Every structure is written in C-alpha cells, then in structure tokens.
C-alpha cells in the first residue's frame, strides 16, 4: 500500500460529517464516491421527487428552496440528500446550483454500501439527518 496522499481522502476528511472517521474508513468511502462538475442553474434535487444522490459540495454553492421559498444556501464542505438516501422518500426541498459547482456524489447504491460497511459513518449520517430535521421543524 502506498503512502502517497489521496486528495479525495483529504477532501472527505475536511467535511464535518466525515471528520471523525479513520483514514481506513475515509479510503473506503473515497473508493465509492464520484466527483462531478455541475453547471449553473442545474436542479440536483426536486421537492416531492425521490432523491437519487447524496452530494458533498467541494466548491460553489446551491440554493435550497421549500414551497418556492429559499430556506438555505449551502457551500463548500456542506452536504444534502442524506434524508432521501435513508428512506427513499420524496425530497423535502429543491436544490439548484447558483453557479459552477464541484461536488462529490454517492448514488443510492454507493451510499447504502458505504454506511452498511461502516457503523460510525451510519451513526454520523443519522445524527446529521436528525439535526437537519429538527432545524427544519423549528423554522
């Protein structure tokens, strides 16, 4: 095994959701994640529709709307789509890029494999989801 640094592992380690994972767990996750370039104005998730992917923003930002009203703007290091990954239910908001965006993306199958293979990651995703649901309920 090489000691050459992996930029994808380094980026994942800087995401708060993954910051407490071991290097081995980060390497496992990095092997399952895709990196994509997204265009301005691209709808990534549509409110009321099934969520197909979990996104982690590397650069750029997205607008999050619910019922046509902006509820958040997410930027580098933030993530979305985790709720739909867990329950396959309809998205609770619409997410649209507001400029060029670089992101790391997990499909439902990749996400399921990643959390099934890692109890720590599964608990962190569940805790993050609970925090987001609580914040949405209080808004």
Q: Which residues of 107-119 are buried (b: 16+ CB within 10 A; e: fewer)?
A: ebebbebbbeebe
CB 111 within 8 A of CB 17: no
User: CATH homologous superfamily of domain 7-138?
Assistant: Jelly Rolls (2.60.120.10)
Query: pLDDT digit string (tens) for 5-24?
Result: 688 888 888 877 787 788 88
For residues 121 and 103, the model is more confident at 103
Q: What Cα–Cα distance (Å) separates residue 27 from each residue in 18, 21, 113? A: 11, 10, 14
pLDDT at 133: 77
pLDDT at 38: 97
Q: Is pLDDT at 2 greater than 60 in this prediction?
A: no
Sign of the dihedral defined by the CA atoms of residues 46, 17, 133, 60, in that order: negative
**Rounded to whole angstroms, what are the CA distances from 26 to 16, 23, 43, 55, 123?**
12, 5, 28, 16, 15
Q: What is the pTM of this model?
A: 0.82
């Amino acid at each position: 095994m090489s000691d050459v640094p992996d930029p994808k592992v380094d980026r994942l380690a800087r995401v708060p959701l993954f910051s407490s994972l071991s290097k081995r767990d980060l390497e496992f996750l990095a092997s399952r994640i895709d990196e994509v370039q997204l265009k301005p104005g691209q709808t990534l998730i549509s409110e009321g529709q099934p969520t197909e992917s979990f996104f982690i923003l590397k650069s750029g930002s997205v607008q999050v709307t619910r019922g046509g009203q902006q509820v958040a703007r997410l930027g580098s290091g933030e993530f979305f789509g985790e709720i739909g990954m867990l329950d396959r239910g309809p998205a609770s908001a619409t997410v649209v890029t507001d400029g060029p965006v670089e992101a790391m993306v997990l499909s439902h199958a990749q996400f399921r494999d990643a959390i099934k293979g890692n109890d720590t990651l599964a608990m962190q995703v569940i805790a993050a989801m609970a925090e987001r649901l609580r914040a949405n309920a209080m808004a």
